[in-house]
Amino acid sequence: MSKIAVMGYGTVGSGVVEVLLTNQASIAKRAGEAVDIKYVLDLRDFPGSVIEDRLIKDFDIIKNDPEIDIVVETMGGINPAYQFVKACLCEGKSVCTSNKELVAKYGPELLAIARKNNINFLFEASVGGGIPIIRPLNQSLTADEIEEITGILNGTTNYILTKMRDEGSDFSDVLHKAQELGYAERNPEADIEGYDACRKIAILTSLAYGQQVDFEDIYTEGITKITAEDFKYAAKINATVKLFGTSKMVNGKVLAMVAPVMIKSTHPLYSVDDVFNGIYVRGNMLGEVMFYGKGAGKLPTASAVVADVVDAVKHKGKSIMTIWSEEKQEILPFDEAEHRFFVRIKDSEGIIEKAEAVFGKLEMIDAGIEGEHAFITEIMTEKEYREAAGRIQGIISMIRTDF
């Protein structure tokens, strides 16, 4: 029997306990032995809950108990998660975590400790919630050179954008609902400003190329400036707006960004709505492959964490190979990225001619909104767009397009 500890009994941690208790028999069969939760570490008390008798508040109990050989980390954040996880790995205990902040920042270091100690540091739930994507990248797509990864990687923002588009809902009302449903981060700024998606694309890109991509180096923009009007224009051209995390290999360098993108109904990620995530991967041999499922929430995320626990049990004494070195992956300057840009501009005398003079040929979109115009530019680089936009007054907003 494997004895495990769960650190953090919040949305995901309580889900991990529920999954392990509900599917006890089938999990034992697949793991090859029973999995027993010996401790649950949290700051709060949970009177009357199923874990009441296993609740502890002192991390050292877990660290110093030789019976514990697998630890689940679902506390979130860096401190003390980093110190606790590192201490567990140094003590020869495998760790399974859903904490993308931790993985994006310390992934290579923690993997190296695990490798040295013939144990495992596993983090399937850190990207895409319940969607298997880390394991496929590490194990199933290894014959390919990865040319592109583009994903809707944040459930909270996809839920908000879907409700804004379909029900005309108010941004803050839907965010509140996403928090109630357990989708949002403790500080939801991480979701709506794109930082969460940024950490996830940094993890995926690091795994795809085997080298560290620092999330601080990735251009990141959230969804706070997206409005109901943007969706009205998008609908006129059979399009919608999604928050994408994307990385592409361009001449040996990685072009990475997180930003809202206008996509047409023919795009493979167009129908990924609500809390669902979708991840599109293009390999040089395989071509295109898609991963789809619930990107946040208690049980889907817990399911991915428990799958890691099963893997850790099955691989006791053996480190599962994950190539992710601390060497830095070169990033293409974002100024060189090319798109067509959707632009809204205030109406004024001769404004269309002035816009044509700075942006070149325009594709106009009429959504019947008074006092403004909207158009899509030809393909231009970020730098060219910024310089052109600086030469004209009255720009309301801009969204990059993927067509």
Least distance in angstroms from the C-beta of 153 to ligand NDP: 11
**Interaction mask 1-20, ligand NDP, x per CB under 6 A:** -------xxxxxx-------
Q: How far apart are CA 370 and CA 344, in angstroms?
A: 12
State the minimum distance, in angstroms, from the CB of residue 9 to ligand NDP. 5
Helices within 168-217 (DSSP H only): 171-180, 189-192, 195-209
The number of residues making up the chain comes to 403
Which of 163, 200, 242, 298 is the catalytic position? Answer: 200
Closest CB to ligand NDP among residues 270, 291: 291
Which CB, 151 or 297, lies closer to ligand NDP?
Answer: 297
**Does residue 149 sit in helix, strand or coil?**
strand
CA separation for the pair 13, 298 (Å, rounded): 8
Nearest distance in Å: CB 171, ligand NDP: 20
Which of 76, 155, 222, 260 forms a contact with ligand HSE (CB under 6 A)? 155
Residue whose entry in the numeric block shows the structure tokens 């923002």: 157
Contact between 382 and 335 (Cβ < 8 Å): yes
> Which residue, 181 or 392, has its beta carbon nearer to ligand NDP?
181
Task: Choose which of 194, 245, 295, 300 interacts with ligand HSE (CB under 6 A).
Answer: 295
Choosing from 8, 13, 107, 129, the residue that interacts with ligand HSE (CB under 6 A) is 129
Q: CB 30 → ligand NDP: shortest distance, Å?
A: 22
Selection from ligand NDP, ligand HSE, none that 156 binds (CB < 5 to 8 A by kind) is ligand HSE
Is 297 a binder of ligand NDP (CB under 6 A)? yes
Contact 5, 66 (CB under 8 A): no
Residue 334 is classified by DSSP as: G
Taking residues 237 to 276 in sequence order and writing x for each that binds ligand NDP by CB under 6 A, - otherwise, the string is ----------------------------------------
Calculate the alpha carbon distances from 13 to 39, 78, 138, 160 in Å. 12, 16, 25, 24
160: contact with ligand HSE by CB under 6 A? no
Kindly report the number of other CB atoms within 10 A of residue 138's CB atom: 18
| Among 220, 240, 301, 303, interactor with ligand NDP by CB under 6 A | 301
Residue 154 binding partner per list ligand HSE, ligand NDP, none, with a CB distance cut-off of 5 to 8 Å that depends on partner kind: ligand HSE
The one-character DSSP state at 392 is S
Which lies closer to ligand NDP via its Cβ, residue 189 or residue 402? 189
The question of whether 318 is a catalytic residue gets the answer no
**Region binding ligand NDP by CB under 6 A among candidate stretches 96-104, 172-180, 220-228, 391-399:** 96-104
* Partner from ligand NDP, ligand HSE, none contacting 191, C-beta within 5 to 8 A by type: ligand HSE
Long-range contacts of 166-169 (CB under 8 A, 24+ apart): 166/273, 168/228
Closest to 234 measured CA to CA, from 380, 374, 338: 374
Q: Which residues contact 344 (CB under 8 A, 6 or more apart)?
A: 229, 230, 233, 372, 373, 374, 395, 396, 397, 398
Q: How far is the CB of 47 from ligand NDP (least distance, A)?
A: 14
> For ligand NDP, which residue of 17, 20, 74, 165 counts as binding (CB under 6 A)?
74
Which residues from 194-253 bind ligand HSE, rule CB under 6 A? Answer: 196
What's the alpha-carbon Rg for the chain, to the nearest Å?
A: 23
Which of 19, 68, 72, 75 is close enough to bind ligand NDP by CB under 6 A? 75
Among 172, 165, 178, 288, which Cα is nearest to 228's? 165
- Return the DSSP state at 100: H
Which is nearest to 366 in space by CA: 247, 232, 177, 250? 232
183 binds ligand HSE (CB under 6 A): yes
In the complex with ligand HSE, the residue whose CB is nearer, 245 or 283, is 245
Q: Are strands 395-401 and 341-346 parallel, antiparallel or unpaired?
A: antiparallel
Distance CA 271, CA 259 (A): 18
Ranges within 20-49 binding ligand NDP (CB under 6 A): 41-44
**Residue 258 pairs with which residues in a beta bridge?**
220, 245
In this structure, the number of other CB atoms found within 10 A of the CB of residue 223 comes to 24
**Positions in 100-139 near ligand NDP (CB under 6 A):** 100-101, 125, 129
Instruction: Report the catalytic residues.
Output: 200
Q: Which residues bind ligand NDP (CB under 6 A)?
A: 8-13, 41-44, 74-76, 80, 98-101, 125, 129, 182-183, 185-186, 296-297, 301
**Residues at the site binding ligand HSE, with contacts judged by CB under 6 A:** 129, 154-156, 183-185, 191, 196, 295-296
